[in-house]
């Protein structure tokens, strides 16, 4: 699944091509995505893109009459193509732009979405979300306070979008390794000092991933057609049974919340 750095990379990749451009035509080939594509999205035709932003793993495209919200789901991607490029089986939505380009949504699993919000309205998909991990609102004091009395494992705690958005499986694994915290440790038993380290590592890991273009995933391609490269620097994710790059211990793999968790029994306590 594309995580926050991949979504941010996509937003940055498409932004120069969409900002201040008019959406000349909206083509919906497959309206049955995670949530059905509503008819109101046809109102985008003739509208100018005023602003692009990201909230968690959602990309918001603002116009004068409302905001279109993209979610890439499990395998979705947004790509800029020429109008002459033939649509494939999994190319579900096109936006024809006034600059002659086409923004094309590709999603083999159809678990993504294109949502619509009128001006001044709140989206039910966004109102419950926690702070952005790279914002000043995400602090050790905040995590420490939210975690008191929690027996929930720290890895699933920081992956909860109501606690903090966008810390997906890959980056949770990596941040916990760099902070020296075992992923099964109860969130409520972690000290403020250790949360200081964890918050710092989460911010640094995500910032580096964004800077380098996101993680190379099988289903992900950035808005400019280039994959990410951060996967080359991963310490634990996807490396269960291999040697730790720091202490040479054999990395262990467990399941948490139906997801693979890899950690180092030597470096993480």
Residues whose CB falls within 8 Å of the CB of residue 84, separated by 6 or more in sequence, listed in order: none
Does the annotation list 150 as a binding residue? yes
Give, for 255, the enclosing helix (H) or strand (E): strand 252-256
Among the options 54, 57, 79, 146, which is catalytic? Answer: 57
Catalytic (active site) residue 201: no
Phi and psi for 239 in degrees, rounded to 5? -120, 25
Phi and psi for 69 in degrees, rounded to 5? -125, 115
Catalytic (active site) residue 259: yes
For 197, counting Cβ atoms within 10 Å of its Cβ (0-12 exposed, 13-18 middle, 19+ buried), the class is middle
The answer to whether residues 167 and 173 touch, using CB atoms and an 8 Å cutoff, is no
Reduce the DSSP state of residue 59 to 3 states and report it. Answer: strand
Catalytic (active site) residue 57: yes
Give, for 198, the enclosing helix (H) or strand (E): helix 192-211
For 213, counting Cβ atoms within 10 Å of its Cβ (0-12 exposed, 13-18 middle, 19+ buried), the class is buried
Among the options 101, 203, 245, 259, which is catalytic? Answer: 259
In eight-state DSSP terms, residue 50 is -
Give, for 9, the enclosing helix (H) or strand (E): helix 4-18
Catalytic (active site) residue 3: yes
Does the annotation list 79 as a binding residue? no
Please identify every residue annotated as catalytic: 2-3, 57, 259
Annotated binding residues for DNA, as ranges? Answer: 90, 109, 150
Q: Residues forming the annotated binding site? A: 90, 109, 150
């Amino acid at each position: 699944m594309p995580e926050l750095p991949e979504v941010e990379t996509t937003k940055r990749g498409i932004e120069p091509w969409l900002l201040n451009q008019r959406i000349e035509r909206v083509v919906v080939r497959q309206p049955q995505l995670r949530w059905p594509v509503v008819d109101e999205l046809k109102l985008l035709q003739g509208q100018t893109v005023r602003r692009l932003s990201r909230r968690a793993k959602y990309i918001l495209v603002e116009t004068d009459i409302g905001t279109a919200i993209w979610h890439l789901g499990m395998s979705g991607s947004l790509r800029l193509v020429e109008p002459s490029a033939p649509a494939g089986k999994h190319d579900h939505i096109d936006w024809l732009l006034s600059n002659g380009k086409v923004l094309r949504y590709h999603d083999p699993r159809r678990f993504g979405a294109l949502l619509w919000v009128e001006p001044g309205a709140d989206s039910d998909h966004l109102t419950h979300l926690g702070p952005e991990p790279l914002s000043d609102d995400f602090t050790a004091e905040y995590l420490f306070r939210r975690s008191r009395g929690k027996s929930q494992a720290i890895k699933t705690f920081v992956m909860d979008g109501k606690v903090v958005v966008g810390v997906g499986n890959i980056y949770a694994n990596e941040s916990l390794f760099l902070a020296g915290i075992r992923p099964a440790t109860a969130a409520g038993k972690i000290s403020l000092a250790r949360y200081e380290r964890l918050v710092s590592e989460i911010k640094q890991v995500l910032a580096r991933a964004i800077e380098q273009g996101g993680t190379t995933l099988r289903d992900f391609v950035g808005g400019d057609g280039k994959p990410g490269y951060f996967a080359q620097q991963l310490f634990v994710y996807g490396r269960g049974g291999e040697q730790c790059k720091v202490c040479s211990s054999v990395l262990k793999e467990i399941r948490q919340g139906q997801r693979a968790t890899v950690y180092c029994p030597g470096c993480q306590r």
